């Protein structure tokens, strides 16, 4: 392993943390400094994540001991195919969101607060990077809390007073979840005396039958289920997504939810291992059932919404069901589909929320029925919405179709025909909630003539949207590229790595 590359994992966290401090201090001096520094830091992280993914693609794993202390004494950072993939995905999305937010933040953030907004924004991303790279369970909890507290703050940062209530609601439920997770981690420590994930995976099998371990598992599962908004523990999500500043909604819906899902999969497969959840404590069947309910319930609730952002929020609950579905089936094809869906959903939901934000930016419209005839005023944005929407439905050859295909394939291979049928039915329901928007946008009449035409958003918002919409298509057509990483990642998780 190249000496420079092996030093990169801690730099991924440390340099942006220092950068955030610099942005804050320089921003106090002159507001114009904060945004470029934040953007540069996220760009740096994205570049690092690409280098890391490239270097572990052939199956290598990078281990880094903080301060040179090997576990169990010290904290270990681990880079493998799974988390390097997640890092690239969320950092790409974070970078595009940051570009989008250059103009998009004006929508909800008063100018005096923009410095602190971008600093917290960057702290959130850094917390997420920490969650992704750490090989230590307690360290995972610490980074989870860093990113969560940043997220609570950001949700509440909007001008809209309701964002404060949504943020507070999110804070309460998120803290309860954090409590559950830390209790679970404590139990594992009691049982084994270590917090290193790799060591836990080796030592836990001897303790599989213990009540302490069962309790640890349940506490952590419930905690993570709240954090990822796994139905029916999703209650914080619709308000948070709807009322948060537009840029924050995009970041939370794409990066935060995906890293949390990553952490959940990591804990289940790399700490408890597949054998535990299928043999010792068979919960996969239960997870599959709840996931199926989540897919349907989220989609049905989405259909009932009139507010565009809230509709997309319920759609996220449904889509999180897809990722949990992979966990419930737990075979190679399904897990590859689930990991692929982490990327697919980030890309398409990012695009949809960006368009929703651009519509508010230009017209102030939040309700779906107000969007009548919008395609004539914002043709590019609406076309992007249509493409990302098609991906959400799972129309080939979009990326949303590819992940759905693997999920169904996995379910069929596992003999879970009913679950496969539910998943397919879910995509029909997705067609309903996406289509009711597209119908209005493209075939409705323009109601308020005085708004005029030519409302396309500025280029700095448009470019990320176009990139994401194009990615929905290109990543689907050239799905071999992500699969080169996703396939081994799924195999590694199943092997308990």
Partner 1 sequence: MIPGILPLLAITIPLAAAALILATGRHMNLRDSVTLGAAASMVIVVLAMLPEILAGGRIGITLIPLLPGGDLALRVDALGMIFGIVASVLWLLNSLYSIGYMRALNEHDQTRFYFCFAIAIAAAIGIAFSANLVTLYVFYEILTLITYPLVVHVGTPEAMQAGRKYLAYLLGGGICLLAATILTYTLTGTTEFIPGGFLAGAGAAALSLQVIFLLYLGGFVKAAWMPFHAWLPAAMVAPTPVSAFLHAVAVVTAGVFGVVRVAGWVYGVDLMADLNLGVLLAVIASFTIITASLFALAQDNLKRRLAYSTVAQLSYILLGVSMLSTAGLIGAVIHIPFHAFQKIALFFCAGAVIVGAGRENISDMKGIGRKMPVTAVMCAAAAAGICGLPPFCGLVSKVYLTIGAVQAGELALLGVIIVSAVLNVAYFFPIIHTMIIARPSDDRALDTVTEAPLIMLVPIILAVTASVAFFFFPATPFLDLAEIAISDMSGAGMP
Residues found near partner 1 in the complex (CB under 8 A): 333, 390, 393, 395-397, 402, 405, 408-409, 412-413, 420-421, 424-425, 427-428, 431, 435, 439, 442-443, 445, 477-480
**Least distance (Å) between residue 50 CB and partner 1:** 23
Helix (H) or strand (E) holding 62: strand 62-65
**Least distance (Å) between residue 163 CB and partner 1:** 35
Which residue's structure tokens are 């069929």?
412
Report the sign of the C-alpha dihedral through residues 106, 110, 111, 113, in that order.
Answer: negative
**Least distance (Å) between residue 453 CB and partner 1:** 15
CB 156 within 8 A of CB 164: yes
Q: What is the CA radius of gyration of the chain?
A: 21
Q: Which residues contact 270 (CB under 8 A, 6 or more apart)?
A: 197, 198, 201, 493, 496, 497
**Least distance (Å) between residue 405 CB and partner 1:** 6
Closer of 5 and 424 to partner 1 (Cβ) = 424
Eight-class DSSP state of 280: I
d(CA 296, CA 401): 17
Eight-class DSSP state of 451: G
Bridge partners (DSSP) listed for residue 196: 136
CB 422 within 8 A of CB 296: yes
**Least distance (Å) between residue 358 CB and partner 1:** 21
**Least distance (Å) between residue 488 CB and partner 1:** 15
Least Cα distance to 133 among 187, 199, 52 occurs for: 52
**Least distance (Å) between residue 390 CB and partner 1:** 7
Closer of 339 and 479 to partner 1 (Cβ) = 479
**CA distances (Å), origin 423, targets 254, 288, 294, 302:** 21, 11, 10, 16
d(CA 256, CA 266): 15
**Least distance (Å) between residue 432 CB and partner 1:** 9
Closer of 71 and 410 to partner 1 (Cβ) = 410
The token duo for 194 is 């270590």
């Amino acid at each position: 392993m190249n000496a420079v590359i092996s030093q990169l994992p801690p730099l991924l966290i440390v340099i942006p943390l220092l950068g955030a401090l610099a942005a804050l201090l320089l921003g106090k001096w002159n507001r114009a400094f904060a945004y470029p520094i934040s953007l540069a830091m996220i760009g740096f992280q994205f570049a690092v994540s690409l280098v890391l993914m490239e270097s572990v693609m052939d199956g290598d794993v990078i281990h880094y001991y903080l301060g040179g202390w090997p576990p169990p004494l010290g904290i270990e950072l681990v880079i493998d195919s799974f988390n390097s993939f997640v890092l690239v995905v969320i950092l790409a999305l974070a970078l595009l969101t940051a570009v989008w937010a250059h103009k998009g933040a004006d929508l909800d953030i008063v100018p005096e607060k923009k410095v602190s907004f971008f600093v917290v924004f960057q702290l959130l991303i850094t917390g997420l990077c920490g969650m992704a790279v750490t090989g230590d369970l307690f360290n995972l909890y610490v980074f989870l809390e860093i990113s969560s507290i940043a997220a609570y703050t950001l949700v509440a940062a909007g001008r809209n007073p309701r964002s404060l209530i949504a943020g507070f609601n999110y804070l309460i439920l998120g803290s309860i979840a954090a409590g559950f997770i830390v209790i679970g981690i404590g139990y594992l420590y009691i049982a084994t005396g270590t917090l290193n994930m790799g060591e836990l995976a080796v030592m836990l099998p001897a303790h599989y039958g213990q009540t302490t371990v069962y309790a640890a598992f349940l506490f952590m599962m419930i905690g993570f289920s709240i954090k990822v908004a796994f139905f029916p523990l999703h209650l914080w999500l619709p308000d948070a997504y709807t009322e948060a500043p537009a840029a924050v909604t995009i970041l939370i819906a794409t990066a935060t939810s995906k890293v949390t899902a990553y952490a959940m999969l990591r804990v289940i497969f790399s700490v408890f291992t597949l054998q535990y959840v299928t043999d010792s404590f068979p919960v996969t069947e239960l997870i599959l059932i709840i996931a199926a309910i989540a897919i349907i319930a989220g989609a049905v609730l989405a259909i009932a919404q009139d507010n565009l952002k809230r509709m997309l929020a319920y759609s996220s609950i449904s889509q999180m069901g897809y990722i949990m579905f992979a966990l419930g089936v737990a075979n190679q094809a399904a897990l590859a589909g689930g990991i692929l869906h982490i990327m697919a959903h980030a890309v398409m939901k990012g695009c949809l929320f960006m368009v929703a934000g651009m519509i508010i930016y230009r017209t102030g419209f939040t309700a779906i029925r107000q969007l009548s005839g919008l395609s004539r005023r914002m043709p590019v944005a609406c076309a992007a919405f249509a493409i990302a929407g098609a991906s959400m439905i799972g129309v080939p050859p979009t990326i949303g179709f590819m992940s759905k295909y693997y999920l169904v394939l996995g379910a069929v291979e596992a003999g879970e025909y009913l679950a496969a049928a539910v998943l397919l039915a879910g995509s029909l329901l997705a067609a309903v909630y996406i289509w009711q928007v597209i119908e209005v946008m493209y075939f409705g009449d323009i109601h308020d003539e005085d708004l005029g035409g030519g409302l396309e958003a500025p280029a700095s918002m448009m470019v990320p949207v176009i990139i994401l919409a194009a990615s929905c298509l290109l990543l689907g057509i050239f799905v071999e590229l992500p699969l080169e990483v996703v396939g081994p990642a799924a195999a590694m998780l199943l092997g308990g790595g």
